[in-house]
Amino acid sequence: MADFINVTTLNLLAKQVLEQCEPLNNLIVCGEISNFTRHYKSGHCYFTLKDERASVKCVMFRDKARLLSFPPENGMLVLAYGRATLYERDGAFQLYCDYMRPFGAGAAQMAFDALKKKLAAEGLFDPAHKRPVPPMPQCIGVVTSKTGAALQDVINVISRRWPATRLLLAPVSVQGLEAEQTIVDGIRRLDADPRPDLILVTRGGGSKEDLWVFNSERIARTAYACRKPVVSAVGHEIDTTILDYVADLRAPTPSAAAELCVPDQARVRQQIFILQENIQKNMQSRLQICYNKYKDLSPDQTLRRVQQGIGRRGEDVALVAEQIRRAAHEKTDRRSRELQGAAAVAGSLNPYAVLARGYAMVENRAGSCCSVAELEPGQKIRVRGNLASAQCTVDAVERAERPET
């Protein structure tokens, strides 16, 4: 009887054969998505790729699926990067996907529009969030390939326009499977570094597929979270990526971005020259004004002006003195009339004035004026007249009867 193997061994052998086949370990498969499912617990994505004549089951694990730059949908044509092998338990041939991106104008545009709509609804494109670029940055952080033409364009333009600005490079891959993660890491490193005043994310031109990594949702959110201004310059003027909408400033090319990030030293020199001329003209004008004022202040004219000023002040003093004299005279007359009136009133109330008309006043021994009704027989009194007084003794007091009413 021939030797036999069990199903587990068969599947294991088949898996080992497939894994040893080098072409199956580095695949890019083009197909249309169908039966797409994202497991709600694990986060793994399960779907089928198909063309006109065949299909293959695919799986993308959570750590890879969360890096997708677009939401996969049924009917979308994509390029899936990964390896083909056998799932031992079910004996199922399937593709393990590490990365996936839309393929074809329709699918790519559909993914682009969906992500753009999603991020716009979250406010990542809000103009109020965009920060101004420093007018004269001392250091610019550059996120790009260290071997690309974009870096050389930036260096050449900044060296020509404003050589005082230093460049700090965060070298990254600008296309391929590792590009997204390296770009995200590069932006974060430069944002955490205190030296750069702004961050320039750039690469040269290429096909839409080459530039697709800059439509990544992770890159967009990383740029939005930056504390420093972010400038995007990806591809040519006709190319537009999601990063362009999120960035604080979008430039059509790397060279244009460098021109927008730094001033032109020739123009600054011209502005300084014009400013110097204006300052000199202003100083000459002020000196001329001071000289004219000095000429106006010659000794004769100064003495004449002082004399005129003294004359005007003398007239003012004379006028004030006359006003004071007039006011004092009026006040004296008013007080004199008031005093005469008061004296007249006091004279009318003086009891001694009555004596001058022939009346006499009776005083007791204490010298106080008293009435006749107060006198007693034998009392010593003084009768005071106008010119003389007499010492008298009261013999008797005759009291008159009160008249009847």
CA separation for the pair 11, 16 (Å, rounded): 9
DSSP one-letter code for 398: P
pLDDT 10s digits, 94-140: 999 999 888 876 677 778 888 999 999 999 999 999 999 999 999 99
CA 263 to chain centre: 24
310: which 2 tokens? 């003294």
Residue 99: its H or E element: strand 92-102
Token pair 């199903």: residue = 7
CA separation for the pair 7, 267 (Å, rounded): 79
Contact 242, 214 (CB under 8 A): yes
The confidence band for 241, taking pLDDT boundaries of 50, 70 and 90, is: very high
Contact 260, 139 (CB under 8 A): no
Which pLDDT does position 187 carry in this prediction? 97
Q: How far apart are the first and last CA of the chain?
A: 179
3-state secondary structure of 38: strand
**For the whole model, what pTM was predicted?**
0.55
The confidence band for 300, taking pLDDT boundaries of 50, 70 and 90, is: low
Beta bridge partners of 80: 29, 100
114 phi/psi in degrees, rounded to 5:
-65, -45
- E strands present in 175-319: 198-203, 230-234, 249-250
pLDDT 10s digits, 51-91: 888 899 999 999 989 888 788 888 888 999 999 999 888 88
Residue 20: its H or E element: helix 7-20
pLDDT 10s digits, 31-56: 989 899 999 889 999 999 998 888 99
Residue 364 has pLDDT above 80, yes or no: yes
Contact 193, 168 (CB under 8 A): yes
For residues 191-199, give the mean pLDDT: 97
CA separation for the pair 212, 179 (Å, rounded): 10
pLDDT 10s digits, 206-215: 877 788 899 9
The confidence band for 402, taking pLDDT boundaries of 50, 70 and 90, is: low
Instruction: Using a pLDDT cut of 90, give the percent of the chain over it.
Output: 44
pLDDT 10s digits, 147-183: 999 999 999 999 999 999 999 999 999 988 789 999 9
**C-alpha separations of 25 from 17, 90, 100 in Å:** 11, 20, 16
Which pLDDT does position 74 carry in this prediction? 86
Contact 197, 54 (CB under 8 A): no
